[in-house]
Structure 1
Amino acid sequence: MNHTPAFAPTETLAGFAALLRDHGLTVGVAEQRAILQAALALGALNGARLNAAWRAIACHSAREWKLWPDLFDRYWHPERVRGTVRVSGQTRPSRDLRQSVQQMREQMDAAQQAPTPARSAPQTAADAPQAGAGDSEAGSPRAMGGASRSAPQLEALHQRDGQMWLPQELGTLQRLARQITAQLRPLPTRRWRGVHRGQRLDLRQTLRRSVAWGGEPLAPAWQVRREEPPRLFILADVSRSMEAHAALFLRVARAFAMEAQARVFVFHTRLAEVTPLMQRDSATVQEKINAVTAGFGAGTRIAASLQDFARTHARAQLRRGARVWVMSDGFDTDAPEQLAEALQALRGRGARITWFHPTRGVPAAAAVQGARTHIHRFVPLASLADLVAAKPLLH
């Protein structure tokens, strides 16, 4: 099977790491990075040594050590395993171990020798080239939620919607979230804090200091108004229509939960908070995120979820300057006018609403069109390149 050399090997290793996690092995970001480095260091012809190195990296107990041979053969040598043949409608990249490692080495050599190509403008899912006469829209890679393999590959982070992320990609996303968090405008409060030079004289502290100088105010104390970062709330749509994009949305939400202490919610027909999961840094986070995006069934009640969010979950924290980021395609099974009423209630509490959508154009759903006056800004988000492009607007 032919596949793009610049993309398939790392995807294949990511699939192997996912299989290990599915069977209880704690293969997190550090282990996945070590597996990749071992593959590049040992080369394509040292299959036995590579097997031993990966086994030492991934196995942390006697049970995992005994389980390893079966998992390794099941993924890399399925012809050795009997009774596990599965038929799927999608083709998979080659799982030949030597070929994958050799391609990764060729990638790194080519990256060092080839000149840096001019970076194209950020694209979203709506920018995919239209299928030709012989292509079926339902069977196209884009229709199945994946990037086209026939187009030239740019950086994997900016072009693919895969659920498995490599360590360097997660680091890039985390740095971007940190930069956007730093530019969020702080909100002044009624409280003051002491500084070396400030706007207002702290009379009480100045009088206390003057005792040491015989009552003379020779060491004045100053104050400035205390500022607090705005509260950030992220509501991600994980309904069936958003299955291809929910993994990206939750990865972005987790980055802001770590950097901006954002509260994260998911919704389909009901709303649920997942902030503790997003703020947990463990080897099973990726597996749990994949489970969240597995599809909770048909139907999306955006308006009801927003009402539940405002009345119950964030009632005490919604105030002037709060940011509410809604990540959805806008298709709502509630009555169209209910979404406008829910967003108007949020704005009445002082929240600024930003709507992230997976298409280049503003969602055409009737509910969103009727509530546009209550939404501060629409932002396309189908890849990390879109988030980079929106960085100057998120303040």
Structure 2
Amino acid sequence: MTLTAAPPPAGPPTEPDVDELLLGFARALRAAGLHVTADRERTFLVAAATVGMGERAGVYWAGRATLTSTPADFPAYDELFERWFGGESIPQGRRVDVQRPPVRQAPLDGGEGDGGEGDLDTLQAQASAQEVLRHRDVATLSAADRAAAARVFASLDPRSPLRRARRHVRARSGAIDGPATLREQLRRMGEPGRIHHRRRGTRPRRIVLLIDVSGSMSAYADSLLRLAHVFVRTVPHVEVFTMGTRLTHVTRALTERDPDRALAAAGRVVPDWSGGTRLGEAIGAFLDRWGRRGMARGSVVVVFSDGWEREGPEVLGEQMRRLAALSHRVVWANPHRGKAGYQPVQQGIVAALPHIDDFVAGHSLAAFEELIEVVARA
């Protein structure tokens, strides 16, 4: 592959700015045709600081893990890395604070190590690696990173949005609870007693997750179903559907305690993995069969999709209008929303946007955490 980025000038400055050196390399990769976003640049800086700036091999693998998308990018990456950094070790420059002492491995049997500093270094390295993983696009993760991300899903803490209930509960202040106050007086044989107060109670709202599993979303489907499994296992009143060329109800499959078994069960139920996309028809089928009967009424509905619609956008726009009229709030999570330079120009997104309350990112663990907060506050 012919690289368009010019090599750096011969002879680096005496005290180079390491951040500028690394960012320059990332931007040179972008100029050479690699899909390097601002989010990947930030992740690369964190990963390089974690492995240590003086470790040339560590910086190489940090960049290859964060700045490349497919194996087709590796030859261009290798060639530009050699031209940019040469055969010498990467200078420390003014960023002396990122040079970390050697990290000792934590004992596997849970016993005590030789000292506290090594354990602290190990914990810091693990925390840094987990932070890098949180911001990675889940579509670009390797098999090992996917396994690590699957373990992080267990730490997510979704919460139900609340609505006011018809029944009242006791309160310290507010409206006077006449019956309770009267009963208090009767117990005291007519003597004045404490005045009781009450307020309207709260109940959890239903959450409905509509997950696009078409071909354009296949790289995200596994992670989105893992997120749905966390919702089903920890939050009451959650319903999950997949959308492709048809609509499939997968809530029962996701009630399995083990996430891998739950995803396997969902895979056996869904007949249209990586197929076409009929978002409008799928949302219409949900409304006709489940939504109007009560499942969508007053619910928080989350649509996971990139907005690519196989049919005309007018159908999707009409069904989104119906969905917004029935539900309490509509949230649309788009995996491309959190990437630099993204513009909602797809016909499906343009048709749906007027009926969406929250348009959020859905491409990383950090984005999933933000989505959980949006749903909890709905």
TM-score strictly above 0.5: yes
Aligned residue for 1:316?
294
2:163 aligned to 187, 207, 214, which one?
187
Aligned residue for 1:147?
141
Q: Mapping of 1:3-18 within 5 angstroms? A: none
CA gap 1:122/1:363 in 2 versus in 1, 3 angstroms: farther
Contact 2:242 2:248 (8 Å CA) reproduced: yes
Q: Percent identity?
A: 27
Q: Mapping of 1:10-89 within 5 angstroms? A: 40=108
The whole-number CA distance in structure 1 between the counterparts of 2:371 and 2:221 is 19
The whole-number CA distance in structure 1 between the counterparts of 2:271 and 2:250 is 15
The secondary structure found in structure 1 opposite 2:252 is helix
C-alpha displacement at 1:390, in angstroms?
A: 4.7
Amino acid at match of 1:264: V
Aligned residue for 2:195?
220
The whole-number CA distance in structure 2 between the counterparts of 1:375 and 1:124 is 26
Aligned residue for 2:362?
381
1:239 aligned to 211, 214, 236, which one?
214
1:256 aligned to 198, 215, 231, which one?
231
Aligned length: 261
Aligned residue for 1:207?
182
The secondary structure found in structure 2 opposite 1:281 is coil
Contact 2:283 2:319 (8 Å CA) reproduced: yes
Contact 2:329 2:357 (8 Å CA) reproduced: yes
CA gap 1:291/1:247 in 2 versus in 1, 3 angstroms: farther
Aligned residue for 1:332?
309
TM-score normalised to the size of structure 1?
0.56
CA gap 1:257/1:391 in 2 versus in 1, 3 angstroms: closer
TM-score normalised to the size of structure 2?
0.58
CA gap 1:265/1:214 in 2 versus in 1, 3 angstroms: same
The secondary structure found in structure 1 opposite 2:153 is helix
Aligned residue for 2:332?
355
The structure whose residues are more often helix, as a share, is 2
Amino acid at match of 2:328: A
C-alpha displacement at 1:222, in angstroms?
A: 2.2
Aligned residue for 1:171?
154
Contact 1:267 1:302 (8 Å CA) reproduced: yes
The whole-number CA distance in structure 1 between the counterparts of 2:124 and 2:303 is 43
Amino acid at match of 1:170: F
Contact 1:124 1:358 (8 Å CA) reproduced: no
The secondary structure found in structure 2 opposite 1:215 is coil
Provide Cα deviations, 1:236-283, integer angstroms capped at 9, x if missing partner: 111222211100001111111222222111121221221222233147
CA gap 1:301/1:113 in 2 versus in 1, 3 angstroms: closer
Contact 2:232 2:255 (8 Å CA) reproduced: yes
2:262 aligned to 285, 300, 307, which one?
285
The whole-number CA distance in structure 2 between the counterparts of 1:251 and 1:273 is 15
The secondary structure found in structure 1 opposite 2:295 is coil
CA gap 1:165/1:274 in 2 versus in 1, 3 angstroms: farther
The secondary structure found in structure 1 opposite 2:219 is coil
Amino acid at match of 2:164: P
CA gap 1:168/1:298 in 2 versus in 1, 3 angstroms: closer
The whole-number CA distance in structure 1 between the counterparts of 2:188 and 2:211 is 60
Contact 2:212 2:243 (8 Å CA) reproduced: yes
The whole-number CA distance in structure 1 between the counterparts of 2:140 and 2:274 is 21
Aligned residue for 2:28?
none
**Highest RCO, 1 vs 2 (Cα 8 Å, sep ≥ 6):** 1
Provide Cα deviations, 1:28-49, integer angstroms capped at 9, x if missing partner: xxxxxxxxxxx955xxxxxxxx
Aligned residue for 2:252?
276
Contact 1:306 1:342 (8 Å CA) reproduced: yes
Amino acid at match of 1:355: W
**Pair 1:299-2:282 in alignment:** no
1:369 aligned to 346, 350, 353, which one?
350
